[in-house]
Amino acid sequence: MSESKPIQPPRRDFLKQVAAVAGLTLAPGVFLQTVSAAVNASQRWGLLIDSNKCGDCQACVTACHTENGITDHNRPETDAQWIRKVDLRHKTTGRVHSLPMMCQHCEHPPCVDVCPTGASFKRQDGIVLVDKHICIGCRYCMMACPYKARSFVHEVITDQKAHAPRGKGTVESCTLCVHRVDTGRLPSCVEACAATGRGAMLFGDMNDPNSELAQRLRTEYSTTIRADLRLNPGVRYQGI
């Protein structure tokens, strides 16, 4: 090892400035790191939706779109929808019911498999997200999703929320309100459904045996949409 020479003051000042700029630049990243540090693989966030309790209201849709700044351009075919209500009638029995559809946060998400850049990814705790920085807008994930859960941003985005960044030309879908979940709050759709008094949506950690979600899943029958694909979605339904 050669002996290091003392750094001259001007150079030291310069390095200080560089460090300050770097610090400012990296700070948001460091902050994100602290949030994601809370994510761990022992958890599996999920939803149980009881279509018997789900009525004809749009409370979950309105709450989600308000929370995440999803605006409407009155163009139903290109407007983004993170969550939607679907009304169904059983072909044999004639029973009519309604349920909310959104990203099903699969354990084996086809959107993640097909994404060429890795922008579609699944967090350790099971939440499936899109990294808006590396999404190139190829829409292959939209071709692959069996739930038609994803939307492509077809317009210029103006008043987006800081906690739910969006971008024209990228793909997006329900984040399970990851920004709320990471701070111990409920997804906005679940909160809104509870506020109506229906309580058709239950959120929790499927892996925590003490959670209400895990207990109900253990004792009550539930199923998933397109169970034949064996994607093991994190969103489970009752009454379908």
Binding residues vs another protein (CB under 8 A): 61, 73, 75-81, 84-92, 96, 101, 110, 112-119, 134-140, 142-148, 150-156, 167-171, 225-226, 229, 240
Q: How far is the CB of 48 from another protein (least distance, A)?
A: 18
Query: What is the C-alpha R_g of the chain?
Result: 22
Phi/psi at 158 (5° precision): -110, -70
- Least separation in angstroms between CB 42 and another protein: 25
- Nearer to another protein among residue 157 and residue 164 (C-beta): 157
- Write out the DSSP string of 115-168: -SSS-EEE-TTS-EEE-TTT-----HHHHH-TT---EE--S---S--TTS---T
* Residue 31 beta carbon to another protein: minimum distance, rounded to whole angstroms: 23
92 or 219: CB nearest another protein: 92
- The rounded distance, in Å, linking the Cα atoms of 145 and 231 is 11
CB of 4 to another protein, least distance (A): 36
Nearest CB to another protein, comparing residues 67 and 205: 67
Amino acid found at 235: V
Residue 160 CA neighbour count, 13 Å, CB half:
12
The residue among 125 and 172 lying less far from another protein, judged by its C-beta, is: 172
| Closest CB 229 distance from another protein, rounded Å | 6
Which residue, 140 or 207, is less far from another protein as judged by CB? 140
Residue 184 CB, nearest distance to another protein (Å)? Answer: 31
Say if CB 218 and CB 29 are below 8 A apart.
Answer: no
Neighbours of 212 (CB within 10 A): 13
Rank residues 11 and 75 by Cβ distance to another protein and give the closer one.
Answer: 75
Contact 140, 114 (CB under 8 A): yes
